[in-house]
Amino acid sequence: MDLLIKNGYVYDPLNNINGDVMDIGVRQGKIVDPSEIDQRKARVIDAKNMVVMPGGIDIHSHIAGPKVSTGRLIKPEDHYLSNIPGKLPYRRAQTGVAVPNVFKIGYCYAEMGYTTVAEAASPPLKARHTHEEMDAIPIIDKMTYILVDSNWIGLDYAEKGDVEVLAAYYAWILDSTKGYALKLVDPGSDVAWLYGKMCLDIDDYIPGYSLRPRDLIEMVGKASEYLNLPHQIHVHCNRLGYPGNYITTLETMKLAQKFAVGDEPSLHITHVQFTGYKGDNWSDLRSGGEDIAKSLNRNRYVTLDLGQVVPGFKALTMTADAPFEFVLYHLTRGKWSFADVEAETASGIVPYEYKKKNYVNTIQWVIGLEVLLLTEDLWRVYVTTDHPNAGPFTAYPKVFSWLLSNKAREEIIQEMNRRAVSLSALPAIDRELSLYDIAILTRASPAKTLGLDKFKGHLGIGAQADIAIYDLNPGEIDLSKEYKLIAEKLRRAKYTIKDGKIVVKDGEVIATTYGYTYYSKAEIAEDLMKKVVEGVKDKFKTYYSVTYDNFIIRENELRNPKAIRVKPIVGGG
């Protein structure tokens, strides 16, 4: 059935629409000119005095894969009192808070008006597990970034310095794992971990190689740019979680211009709150947020997301940065889990609670807000909580209230550690964002940086009909004063429409669909790819306990695969 959304306040930054009252037409899962829709035969939604936006896009979250599954096991208390019975045929049973089950992940995102989510880190060898879980997540479109930071075959190729061959290898691994982008976590540190070293800084040498993390980032960046991948390299900086690490972050950001092609961003720094620490130790920890924002303002080749801390949240930290998780375990002395993936990467999982009166936790909370509120170009910064590391994705509406309202920030500041707040720039920042800004941060900009803006993140003719409608009247509501109401309304969409189908009404899931899984497929010259595949097959016999054929994931193993085809900027097929 055709769909007509009438009289809504539309926020669509990719089309420069800022709260204009408009109608939106939908036919066969696409946006069409509303004049084409026959109201007598269509489903009509009267969105008068409501906000209409494209479906939300989360650029960095942990929603599937082996570490998420282990996280559910390590935190059973997360599930005891959070069970929500199913409501067949539309809704399966839900459970979990910090680490929800697959059904709740899809439903909660949809209830907030989000329709696309990126799983931020999957080991190549465990990608099949990641896809099996993503296939089970209802409603939302998905993708996964593939870890290459300590991949032995990749390091072998990177050391030889042949960008074309390295790029062909990464093209093969993305196609073989059905991954979307290249992810580096604490580059080189898993190799160092195997040699008994706790951490590498950007200029330390990776054991067994003549490469430093900065060299690896530059080589992977060049390969990614050569392949013309839809999303730039996604980098979790070295020395995450250590006092003074903001310097490493600033040095990493400088690398972007070394491999950028044209004027577009070439490097994404992820969950910058965890890598924005000033100070020499925990007792004199300070925020490096202002310094990072200034660097971002000067460097058009970098994007970043926040990893915003949510005070009072009992989190579950999970990352491929196993050395840091080992340190965090010794700081907390609670549970922990560790895994090493052969020839590729490692991971660690540690439960952690962010306390409002804790000095360090307050500094962490401050950093993300400082970075975003001091960033001049909102098209290059994204709201994330690095779910579930710094907070749940369901806390996004609360984070939005802090960005929209200075009063909301002042209220929570009263609950935080006063000394930590007094040493930060946050109390002096009076910037308040608008709903148009929120649409940039959560719709338009993520679609653009993921290379999906031709059909996602906007409501122009031909776009995918992913639409969120919120029961907010921007003509009457005071965003600065009524921040609690705003957070409530943004948490429960009036309607969420996925591919033209209404899946959420009045904040409740009323229908289940299954979205696409996007992956990148680069066209590489046949002779080059043949050469690389022969080399990879030989290395598999040395490095892996699985066979080459069993490693590769075929399209028919995914529920709804959708390849994003790209042609290398130089060479290619």
pLDDT for residue 397 is more than 90: yes
- What is the C-alpha to C-alpha distance for residues 442 and 454, in angstroms, rounded to an integer? 16
569 backbone φψ class: left, alpha, beta (φ>0; ψ -120 to 50): alpha
- For residue 323, how far is the Cα from the chain centroid? 22
Nearest to 439 by CA among 8, 6, 7, 98: 8
Give the pLDDT score at 334. 87
Q: What are phi and psi of 383, to 5 degrees?
A: -85, 115
Alpha helices in 260-358 (DSSP H): 289-298, 322-332
Is the pLDDT assigned to residue 570 strictly greater than 80? no
Does any domain span residue 544? yes
Is the pLDDT at 409 greater than 50? The verdict is yes
For residue 547, the cross-strand partners are: none
Summarize the confidence of residues 71-85 as an average pLDDT: 90
The pLDDT of 333-339, averaged and rounded, is 89
Mean pLDDT, the chain, rounded, equals 95
| Distance between start and end Cα atoms, the chain | 42
Check whether 571 has a pLDDT greater than 60: no
Q: What is the pLDDT of residues 124-176, one digit of tens each?
A: 999 999 999 999 999 999 999 999 999 999 999 999 999 999 999 999 999 99
Is the residue at 562 inside a domain? Answer: yes
- The angle at the Cα of 261, spanning 256 to 266, to the nearest 5 degrees, equals 35
Is 573 a residue whose pLDDT tops 80?
Answer: no
Is the predicted pLDDT of residue 89 greater than 90, yes or no? no
Q: What is the pLDDT at residue 238?
A: 97
Does residue 88 have a pLDDT over 90? Answer: no
Confidence of residue 70 (pLDDT cuts 50, 70, 90): very high
Helices and strands in the chain: count of H runs, count of E runs: 21, 24
What is the token pair recorded at 393?
């994705």
Domains held by the chain: number: 1
* Helix ranges, 299-351 (H): 322-332
- DSSP letters for 422-442: HTSSGGG------HHHHHIII
SS (H, E, C) 18-77: EEEEEEEEEECCEEECHHHCCCCCCEEEECCCCEEEECEEEEEECCCCHHHHHHHHHCCH
Is residue 456 classed exposed, middle or buried when 0-12, 13-18 and 19+ CB atoms within 10 A define those classes? buried
The whole-number average pLDDT for the span 220-227 is 97
The stretch 33-47 carries a mean pLDDT of: 95
Residue 1 reports pLDDT greater than 90: no
140-169: burial string, b at 16+ Cβ within 10 Å, e else: bbbbbbbbbbbbbbbbebbbeeebbbbbbb
Q: How far is CA 290 from CA 278, 420, 508, in A?
A: 11, 15, 40
Average pLDDT of span 266-282: 96
Judge whether 317 and 285 are in contact, CB under 8 Å: no
In a domain, 429, yes or no: no
Q: Does 82 map to a domain? A: no
The C-alpha atoms of residue 549 and residue 320 are separated, in whole angstroms, by 25
Residue closest to 211 by CA, chosen among 160, 146, 269: 160
What band does 262 get if pLDDT is binned at 50, 70 and 90?
confident
Mean pLDDT of 256-270: 95
Query: For residues 322 and 186, what is the distance between their CA atoms, to the nearest angstrom?
Result: 9
Q: State pTM to two decimals.
A: 0.96
User: How much is the pLDDT for 93?
Assistant: 94
Closest CA to 370 of 414, 432, 429: 429
Q: Give domain status of residue 557, yes or no.
A: yes
d(CA 532, CA 223): 14
Give the phi and the psi of residue 570 in degrees, each rounded to 5: -120, 130
Alpha carbon distance 63, 141 (integer Å): 12
Assess if residue 540 is contained within a domain: yes
Please state the rounded mean pLDDT for residues 244-250.
98
Domain annotation covers residue 550: yes
Listed in sequence order, the residues at least 6 apart from 453 whose beta carbon sits closer than 8 Å to its beta carbon are 14, 444, 447
For 552, the domain range is: 517-566
Cα–Cα distance list, 6 to 33, 49, 262, 444, 478 (Å): 12, 10, 40, 22, 23
Neighbours of 524 (CB within 10 A): 24
